[in-house]
């Protein structure tokens, strides 16, 4: 990886040390250009509503983006890729779209992002489903034996984080898929922190549904993805109904479009959708294996320099935490640390990082998460280390 060449494509990196990519990645110039191109050259509705020249042009760009995602995941068909506005919407689409009823059980881990926790809590309230968590150990590793013990005929779906935004650990997804399918349950992954950082092959894993956000992988804001096996998407009810998601209507009936159109009702974020392909192409050109290796190298520097000074959330081994370095200092609260780092133009994520349940269960105020990505450098990490050392009394 030619880091200096890469950094020239990101307008913000010279002004700040940006370590908050787990929340939202920065955008390279080709993605920025694609968004601007939409507004300056074809700022119209796509082809489900119009068939004129500009509409057709936009439709082609969106189709290119959908195909690029399909190829990235090694999905079987382009129709298995539905665009949403984020990971949260994709997960909610599955949670609300499955015909879950009273007594049906859903299993997750005990460190899910709120987006894979709150939907199931609300489904428990509304449909009286059973919702349970499977434990992870002090190093964030999933207890597969506990998962097997909790599997029974009432379990309809196992929905788990792939790579955790809390500690960077990765769920053994293929093993979980096998366990779920052996018990006739579906398996869904929250891939928000895995798809942008490492190769994810939906066929190799055997996942039924995969949710992630393009805006965490160099894409523009407001674009997520729901992957689902075609047969399952055909059976799944949409989260939102309306124009573009129906083939025809009468006063007393509506015929829905096939997937993915039925999941994309209403006017979409066309400017961002037109920039999906440049984002995916940028990542593919660098190579996800190279990105993962680079992140671990940066994490190793931070870990080796700071492991005696801070409390690391998750395993000490940086290879098990990918690009996530989440830590605490006894001397300072997490929000105070974030503000002090900001004074040095180092941008972190302080607080509970949308994993409130895990922090609350463990009686912790929160953490300070540095999340590394392809545009970060060793020099930036060393500066980060220097500032943290200055805060340790």
* CA 169 vs CA 140, 280, 323, 379: distances in Å: 6, 24, 10, 25
Q: Which pLDDT value is given to residue 49?
A: 66
pLDDT above 70 as % of the chain = 99
pLDDT band at 393 (very low <50, low <70, confident <90, very high): low
> How, if at all, do strands 155-161 and 105-109 pair?
parallel
pLDDT digits (tens, 9 = 90+) for 322-335: 999 999 998 899 99
Q: Which pLDDT value is given to residue 43?
A: 96
Q: Which pLDDT value is given to residue 142?
A: 98
Burial label, 244 (beta-carbon count in 10 A; 0-12, 13-18, 19+): middle
CATH of 31-283, picked from 3.10.20.600, 3.40.50.880, 3.40.50.300, 3.40.640.10, is 3.40.640.10
pLDDT digits (tens, 9 = 90+) for 78-91: 999 999 999 999 99
Q: What is the mean pLDDT of residues 171-199?
A: 99
CATH of 3-19+287-391, picked from 3.90.1150.10, 3.10.20.30, 1.20.58.220, 3.20.20.70, is 3.90.1150.10
Whole-angstrom Cα distance, residue 214 to residue 220?
7
pLDDT digits (tens, 9 = 90+) for 348-366: 999 999 999 999 999 999 9
Q: Are 157 and 97 in contact (CB under 8 A)?
A: no
pTM of the prediction?
0.97
Q: Is the pLDDT of residue 123 over 70?
A: yes
Q: Are 98 and 186 in contact (CB under 8 A)?
A: yes
On average, the pLDDT of the chain sits at 97
E-only strand ranges, 192-330: 209-213, 224-228, 246-250, 253-256, 311-312, 324-328
Whole-angstrom Cα distance, residue 299 to residue 326?
10
Q: Are 157 and 106 in contact (CB under 8 A)?
A: yes
Task: Kindly name the residue from 23, 45, 334, 354 that is annotated as catalytic.
Answer: 354
pLDDT digits (tens, 9 = 90+) for 148-179: 999 999 999 999 999 999 999 999 999 999 99
pLDDT band at 51 (very low <50, low <70, confident <90, very high): confident
Residue carrying structure tokens 């890469």: 6
Spans of all domains in the chain: 3-19+287-391, 31-283
354 annotated active-site: yes
């Amino acid at each position: 990886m030619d880091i200096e060449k890469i950094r020239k494509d990101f307008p913000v990196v010279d002004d700040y040390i940006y370590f908050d990519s787990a929340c939202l990645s920065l955008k390279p110039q080709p993605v920025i250009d694609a968004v601007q191109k939409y507004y300056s050259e074809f700022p119209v509705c796509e082809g489900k509503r119009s068939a004129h020249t500009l509409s057709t042009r936009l439709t082609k760009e969106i189709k290119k983006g959908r195909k690029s995602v399909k190829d990235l995941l090694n999905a079987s068909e382009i129709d298995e890729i539905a665009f949403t506005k984020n990971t949260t919407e994709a997960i909610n689409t599955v949670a609300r779209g499955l015909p879950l009823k009273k007594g049906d059980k859903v299993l997750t881990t005990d460190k899910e992002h709120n987006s894979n926790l709150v939907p199931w809590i609300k489904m428990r309230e509304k449909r009286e489903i059973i919702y349970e968590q499977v434990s992870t150990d002090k190093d964030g590793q999933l207890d597969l034996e506990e998962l097997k013990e909790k599997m029974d005929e009432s379990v309809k779906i196992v929905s788990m984080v792939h790579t955790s935004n809390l500690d960077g650990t990765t769920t053994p997804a293929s093993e979980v898929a096998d366990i779920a399918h052996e018990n006739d349950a579906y398996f869904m992954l929250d891939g928000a922190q895995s798809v942008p950082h490492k190769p994810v092959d939906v066929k190799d894993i055997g996942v039924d549904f995969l949710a992630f956000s393009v805006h965490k992988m160099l894409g523009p804001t407001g674009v997520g993805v729901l992957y689902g096996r075609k047969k399952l998407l055909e059976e799944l009810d949409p989260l939102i109904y309306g124009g573009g998601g129906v083939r025809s209507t009468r006063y007393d009936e509506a015929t829905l479009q096939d997937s993915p159109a039925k999941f994309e009702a209403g006017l979409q974020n066309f400017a961002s959708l037109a920039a999906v392909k440049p984002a995916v192409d940028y990542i593919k050109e660098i190579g996800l294996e190279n990105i993962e290796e680079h992140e671990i190298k940066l994490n190793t520097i931070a870990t080796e320099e700071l492991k005696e000074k801070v409390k690391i959330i998750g395993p000490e081994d940086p290879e098990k935490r990918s690009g996530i370095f989440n830590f605490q200092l006894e001397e300072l609260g997490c929000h105070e640390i974030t503000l002090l780092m900001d004074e040095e133009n180092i941008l972190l994520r302080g607080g509970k990082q949308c994993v409130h349940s895990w922090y609350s269960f463990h009686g912790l105020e929160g953490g300070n998460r540095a999340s590394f990505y392809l545009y970060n450098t060793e020099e930036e990490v060393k500066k980060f280390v220097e500032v943290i050392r200055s805060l340790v009394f």
